[in-house]
């Protein structure tokens, strides 16, 4: 892909720095792509396509087809060409009655949920009692103290 990006940059007649500025990426990011250290991210590919919309995305991504798209970009919806004034698409457009049609139903598919009441029960526990105390000394000995009951 780096070779295809380089061809786009040559077609634009830009230096590495100018092309990076046009894409809105750092010069080092572009340099890493050309050196093979990094592959271009999806963000970089999208920036290339936005900056150079004539580039065929299949060619850019996969190396298939020509560099320049033959007609309008087919990667998005070409809604501007599909108007009633364009007879080629007039029969494929939905009618006004098909837009925003709502069907009202009084039947509920899911019954409303019942409210759940959560009760918290507090259990009193007796306070813990000391059963044994051990004191360790630096000479390796220790003493145990037990409270009297």
Q: What is the spatial distance between Cα 35 and Cα 108, in angstroms, rounded to a whole number?
A: 61
Say what the pLDDT of residue 114 is. Answer: 79
Q: What is the spatial distance between Cα 38 and Cα 26, in angstroms, rounded to a whole number?
A: 13
Q: How big is the chain by its Cα radius of gyration, in Å?
A: 36
Q: Which residues contact 36 (CB under 8 A, 6 or more apart)?
A: 2
Residue 19: burial class (beta carbons within 10 Å; 0-12, 13-18, 19+): buried
Q: What is the DSSP letter of 16?
A: H
Whether pTM exceeds 0.75: no
Instruction: Assess contact for 44 and 23: CB atoms under 8 A.
Output: yes
Say what the pLDDT of residue 147 is. Answer: 86
Q: Where are the beta strands (DSSP E) in the chain?
A: 133-136, 142-145
pLDDT in tens, the chain (149 residues): 888 888 888 989 999 899 899 999 998 988 888 888 988 888 999 999 999 999 888 888 888 888 887 655 444 444 444 444 555 555 555 555 555 555 565 655 666 677 888 888 888 888 888 899 999 999 999 999 998 87
Tokens 């999208």 sit on residue: 46
């Amino acid at each position: 892909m780096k070779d295809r990006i380089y061809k786009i940059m040559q077609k634009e007649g830009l230096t590495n720095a100018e092309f990076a500025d046009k894409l809105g990426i750092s010069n080092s990011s572009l340099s890493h792509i050309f050196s093979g250290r990094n592959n271009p991210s999806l963000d970089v590919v999208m920036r290339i396509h936005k900056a150079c919309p004539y580039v065929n995305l299949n060619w850019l991504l996969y190396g298939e087809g020509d560099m320049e798209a033959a007609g309008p970009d087919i990667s998005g919806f070409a809604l501007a060409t599909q108007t009633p004034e364009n007879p080629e698409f007039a029969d494929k457009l939905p009618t006004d009655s098909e837009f925003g049609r709502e069907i009202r139903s009084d039947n509920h598919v899911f019954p409303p949920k019942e409210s759940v009441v959560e009760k918290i029960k507090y259990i009193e526990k007796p306070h813990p009692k000391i059963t044994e105390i051990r004191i360790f000394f630096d000479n390796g000995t220790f003493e145990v103290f037990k409270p009297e009951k």
